[in-house]
Structure 1
Amino acid sequence: MSVVEEICLYPALTLIGALTVCYLAVTLGWQLIRGFRVHFLSSWWKSDLRQYGNWAVVTGATDGIGKSYAEELARRGLNIVLISRSMEKLQRVAKEIEQQSGRKTKIIQADFTGGDEVYTPIEKGIKAVSIFSIAVNNVGMKFHDEPIKFIDAPNLRQKSSHFI
């Protein structure tokens, strides 16, 4: 019995196999296209973020991911409002961003463990800049000493939480 004759004996299995191969080929092809776009084209073809406003606000902006966001947004042409607890770190990061990108920065010292009163100085500081549409909330909070999901967090208005 030839291969063609065997394939004809099992048409349902042949169809399932062909559909599976097509699905995998399309899925892999799409992932390759997306990967190429993200990793290669993004360095040449950048979105103009200034269409959303001249300023971006970044909380937790003095270390780690928050600092990286602030630097990248400044590199892409936006002025940055930096919000964090440490005034010394805020001043250092603001100076770095201004030197590296030539963009303006504004710093707001805020400790989110203090409760609702933290929002008043932030609101006043943000009103001083032109309209913005980009906000990166990168404040890390830890409740008690055990990790919990945000959805299961206790009353967020209680002062039992503290920064990581």
Structure 2
Amino acid sequence: MKSLLELFFTSFGGAVAVYYGVKLLLVTRMLYSKMWFPLPKSFFSSMGEWAVVTGASEGIGREYALALAEQGMNVVIMSRTKATLEELAKEIGNTTGREVKVLVTDFTMDNIFSDIEEQLKDLNIGVLVNNVGILPSVVPCRFLENADLDQVSGVPDMSQMHNFLNNVYRLYNFQTEQSLCIFQAITRVINCNVKTMVKMCKTILPGMENRGRGVIVNVSSGIASIPFPMYSLYAASKIFVERFSQGLQAEYKKNGIIIQAVAPFGVSTRMNGYQSTNVVTLSPRDFVKSSLQYLRAGDRTYGSISHTFLGWLLQSTPLKIVYAEAVLNGLQEFVARKLAQKRSMAALSAA
């Protein structure tokens, strides 16, 4: 009997040691990405002549376009803002000498992909970055607080904007719980965050399969690590991004194609009100530079060490704490206050 107990505890202790040894190994892999996941200097250009980046006019998409051009690829940049795309195309051409193709399109709309397919059909595309996405509301809110859920809305008029700003300031003063989540609609979010990614993969993946190489990066979000209140629609759309990416990678890995979902937390972009950069809120350039080092790290990554830690912390926190009313209300008030402060500073500097 004694020998059996000794064998059990020895085996159990060995299993625990192996488990935590593997965990430690995985941590070191994320800390030393260049050592664990080295990329040859010609890695990206060996995938094909062209890279396609959606949502490329600013933020993360803009930096992916610049980074891939710096790696020797010609770039197709896509968004609905022609002026900023043309400015980026000029910058890429001047700094890298690479060819740039500008496609102006609004991914929130229907029936746009036949023209995109026509524009891309003759290109040898080695990298696709599905970055474009919209947030239903910068200020987090409960699902039914969105006044335009069933409408396909366009650009808000000034009266709507005036009401929105008033609501932000009123929330900051803790006087109201009126709707802050306006201007976006279910159809626009689904079209931009979900449909666009699927259709772009459908357009570009066949060429990669035929050539037996290629890279697809689908940008998700760190808040999709758990069912995230106050961003329910956005987080759900990003979970689709992750599951779709992981399924495709399982299907096409044998064809030499890398398909990865990248799930950042804080990156200083327009989507989060250009928050100041720090250890956890990265600049778009720093985040993109870091995330490209993790291309061989699996079908889903956070793209940086600090965001990997945040993901672990969020997933380790009991949901009862995350879902507490005080926490949710505090999140809403904090974001609204930050936005109000940003607008106040902008108004003062413009005066």
Same fold, judged at TM 0.5 (above): yes
Paired-residue identity, %: 33
CA distance in 2, matches of 1:70, 1:109: 15
Can you list the C-alpha shifts for 1:44-103, whole angstroms capped at 9, x where unaligned?
A: 744522232201111100111111211111111110001111111001111122222221
| Structure having the larger proportion of residues in strand | 1
The letter of the residue matching 2:185 is H
CA distance in 2, matches of 1:64, 1:43: 26
Equivalent of 1:79, from 66, 74, 78? 74
CA distance in 1, matches of 2:48, 2:39: 22
Q: Does 1:124 align with 2:118?
A: yes
Alignment coverage as a number of residue pairs: 145
Equivalent of 2:132, from 132, 136, 139? 139
**What SS does structure 2 have at the residue aligned with 1:70?**
helix
Q: Does 1:22 align with 2:23?
A: no
Query: In the alignment, is the contact (CA less than 8 A) between 2:78 and 2:102 conserved in 1?
Result: yes
The letter of the residue matching 1:70 is A
Q: Does 1:59 align with 2:100?
A: no
Which structure has more relative contact order (CA 8 Å, sep 6+)? It is: 1
The unaligned stretches of length 5 or more in structure 2 are: 137-183, 187-230, 241-270, 272-351
**What SS does structure 2 have at the residue aligned with 1:115?**
coil
Distance 1:9 1:115, change over 3 A: closer
1:43 deviation in Å?
A: 7.5
1:27 deviation in Å?
A: 3.1
The letter of the residue matching 2:80 is R
Distance 1:112 1:34, change over 3 A: closer
The unaligned stretches of length 5 or more in structure 1 are: 1-5, 153-163
Query: In the alignment, is the contact (CA less than 8 A) between 2:50 and 2:76 conserved in 1?
Result: yes
Distance 1:34 1:114, change over 3 A: closer
The letter of the residue matching 1:56 is A
Query: In the alignment, is the contact (CA less than 8 A) between 1:53 and 1:130 conserved in 2?
Result: no
- Quote the RMSD (CA, aligned, Å): 3.1
**What SS does structure 2 have at the residue aligned with 1:107?**
strand
1:40 deviation in Å?
A: 5.1
